[in-house]
Homo-oligomer: A and B are copies of this chain.
Amino acid sequence: MNTSTNSNADHRLICTVDVVLLTLRDAQLQVLLIKREREPFAGALALPGGYVHASVDQDCADAARRVLHDKAGLPSPYLEQLASFSGPARDPRGWSVSVAYVALVAAPQAPQPGQHWLPVDELPQLPFDHGRIVANAVDRVRNKSQYSSLPVHLCAEPFTLPQLHGIYEALLGEPINAVSFRRKMDELGMLEPVPGAKLAQGPHRPAQLYRLRDEYRRTLSLAGRGLNA
């Protein structure tokens, strides 16, 4: 191979995005995996991902949204950059960089053919370094749930405080004091009651429904000292 080929291979790299789309089903954090149609690893379950297309994507986040739309059939849920993963061995096609994103959705629509929701704690071996990426994403989400409003993106609006409480508990895997929880949600100031709307769940007092304030739809609200779960 000649020098120019070499320097080209050296400077222009395989560049992909991978999306860790998480949701809460059966009180478990689950991740969307897609059956790969092409090599490498055709037939295996893997994260939705794909090449970054310089000609169509404005940036990597844009590529992630495109992948999410094309492979998961989703509009734009909460999306946050996780980290980049790189190296010569992670993709058999060669030295590559993958910019990984975490996305959260509330309503896990019935999976289309080829889509699978699997609990993050019971994953099989995944191709590429997707196992590591998922683990990284789960760490981030669990950690951030301790002191931010992140989990609201796992909850379909409008929702009640007891529902949100349950989501925090499922994520953190431990009980959270209900009084403190209400105090925290209150001081985070990100929720507003839906006037008059209550949710009756049985022969007892119905719960007030809340929605996210518009200001917090793209921004998280951070608590001073966590939920101390």
Q: Which residues of A pack against B, CB within 8 Å?
A: 6, 8-15, 51-55, 58-60, 81, 83-88, 94-95, 97, 99, 224-226, 228
Q: List chain B residues, Cβ under 8 A from A6.
A: 55
Query: Helix, strand, loop or mixed for chain A's interface?
Result: mixed
Central interface residue in A9, A59, A224, by most chain B CB within 10 Å: A59
A226 CA to B13 CA in the complex, in Å?
40
| Cβ B54 vs Cβ A94 within 8 A | yes
**Known pairs A12-B14, A13-B12; A58 contacts B81 (CB<8 A):** no
Central interface residue in A53, A59, A84, A88, by most chain B CB within 10 Å: A84
Q: List chain B residues, Cβ under 8 A from A53.
A: 10-11
Closest 6 CB pairs of A and B: A12-B12, A54-B95, A225-B225, A59-B87, A13-B15, A60-B86
Q: List chain B residues, Cβ under 8 A from A54.
A: 9-10, 13, 88, 94-95
| Cβ B88 vs Cβ A60 within 8 A | no
| Cβ A11 vs Cβ B86 within 8 A | no
- Minimum C-beta distance from A137 to chain B (A): 14
Q: List chain B residues, Cβ under 8 A from A225.
A: 225-226, 228
- Minimum C-beta distance from A139 to chain B (A): 12
Residue among B8, B13, B87 making CB contact with A58, cutoff 8 Å:
B87
Residue among B11, B52, B58, B81 making CB contact with A51, cutoff 8 Å:
B11
Q: A13-B15, A224-B228 are in contact. List 4 more A-B contacts (CB 8 A).
A: A9-B55, A15-B15, A60-B97, A84-B84
